[in-house]
A and B are shown apart, each in its own frame.
Chain A
Amino acid sequence: MFARVPDPAGNVGSVLSASEDTNRRMLRARDAMDRNYAEPLNVPALAEIAHLSASRFARVFKETFGETPHRYLQRRRIERAMTLLRQTDRPVTQIAWDVGFGSLGTFSRTFSNIVECSPSDFRAAHGPVDVPSCFIAAWTRPRDGAPPPRLSTTAVSEKQPDPARI
């Protein structure tokens, strides 16, 4: 049940169990989605990265990460849009295109559905956050069933204590 699995460069690496090997291959595919989030979902290419057939890829992805590749990509794009809305003055239509949506209508519907406010309202309520982008990306990526992420632009050290909790 343990195997030495080559990485993308062909190097043989650690001894992994079958499930660990699957995790690692699926993580490579998910990293590829993260890198190319603005491109259409290319299941055959991702399946090839994961050394799986295209027909099995979505099922194994969901078993590994708890959601479909399509849903993951959607959350990744919305998370990126949230960052661009906070940190740039780019028009919303441009941001929709930049993160991979083909129409402003689809972007706005998806954004409102996940974040529970319009892109413009989100921009008005949130400013830039000077935290490394990898943490922002992971922490603000909307999760199904969880409340929409709320970002304060006030440092915790600057916040006043809640009188009700003193």
Chain B
Amino acid sequence: MTHLNSIRITTLHVLDQEEAIAFYCGILGFEVKDDIDMGFMRWLTINLPSDPEHHILLQLPGAPVHDEDTAAQLRELLTKGALGGIFLTSEDVRATYDAVVAAGVEITQEVVEQSYGTDFGARDPFGNSVRVAQMNQAGAEEIQRRYAAERS
């Protein structure tokens, strides 16, 4: 029994923290939780307003955590899209999709009905994958019916 009970902070590597704020807060709707100049690094965390206890640390590859070679390897992997990313959920995935497309975000997959819900894929400016899904607890038919009703 470990007594673990939540995920508190997840790390996402980015190449520019201001650009990361512009993307994650300005476009996706996150808010800055902590932005602390620690001298040796900038502690920058964000969270979704609807999920305030789960923070994402937007971390630059480099000192003091990484030596130069390791940081270079991380940057290579990040820009190749090989570092993974985040999986988000939305109350209205099609509205989210429309908003990010309007903001010029790179789309990796259009909106698709999947067995677990409806989702699309995008990339952040650095190469991280950003997946957004509307899970189908209500059932795919119910989600589609709601979408059609909203559009009509």
Taking beta carbons and an 8 Å cutoff, which residues of A are in contact with B?
Answer: 7-9, 11, 13-17, 19-21, 23-24, 26-28, 30-31, 34-35, 64-65, 87, 128, 130-134
Contacts and interface: CB of A to CB of B under 8 A. Distances in A.
A17 B125 CA distance: 15
Contact of B104 (A11, A20, A132): A11
Nearest to B133: A132
Given A14-B19, A27-B81, A132 B114 contact: yes
A16 B76 CA distance: 10
19 contacts: A7-B106, A11-B104, A14-B125, A17-B75, A19-B76, A20-B15, A23-B76, A23-B79, A24-B79, A27-B81, A30-B81, A31-B81, A34-B108, A35-B109, A87-B115, A128-B115, A130-B115, A134-B121, A134-B131
Given A7-B125, A31-B123, A134-B131, A16 B108 contact: no
Interface in B75-110: 75-76, 79-81, 87, 104, 106-110
A130 B80 contact: no
Given A34-B108, A64-B80, A132-B119, 20 more contacts: A7-B106, A8-B106, A9-B104, A13-B16, A14-B126, A15-B16, A16-B15, A17-B75, A21-B79, A23-B76, A24-B79, A24-B127, A27-B79, A35-B110, A128-B115, A131-B116, A132-B131, A132-B133, A133-B114, A134-B131
B108 A31 contact: yes
Given A13-B19, A15-B16, A133 B112 contact: yes
A132 B107 contact: no
Contacts, number: 74
Chain B residues touching A, range: 20 to 34
A130 B116 CA distance: 6
A27 B79 CA distance: 7
Contacts of B108: 31, 34-35
Interface of B: 15-16, 19, 75-76, 79-81, 87, 104, 106-110, 112, 114-116, 119, 121, 123, 125-127, 129, 131, 133
Contacts of B107: 31, 35
A156 to B, nearest CB: 18
Nearest to B20: A14
Q: Which 3 A-B pairs have the closest CB atoms?
A: A9-B104, A23-B79, A14-B15
A20 B116 contact: no
A34 B121 CA distance: 11
Contacts of A34: 108-109
Contact of A7 (B81, B104, B119, B131): B104
Contact of A20 (B79, B109, B125): B79
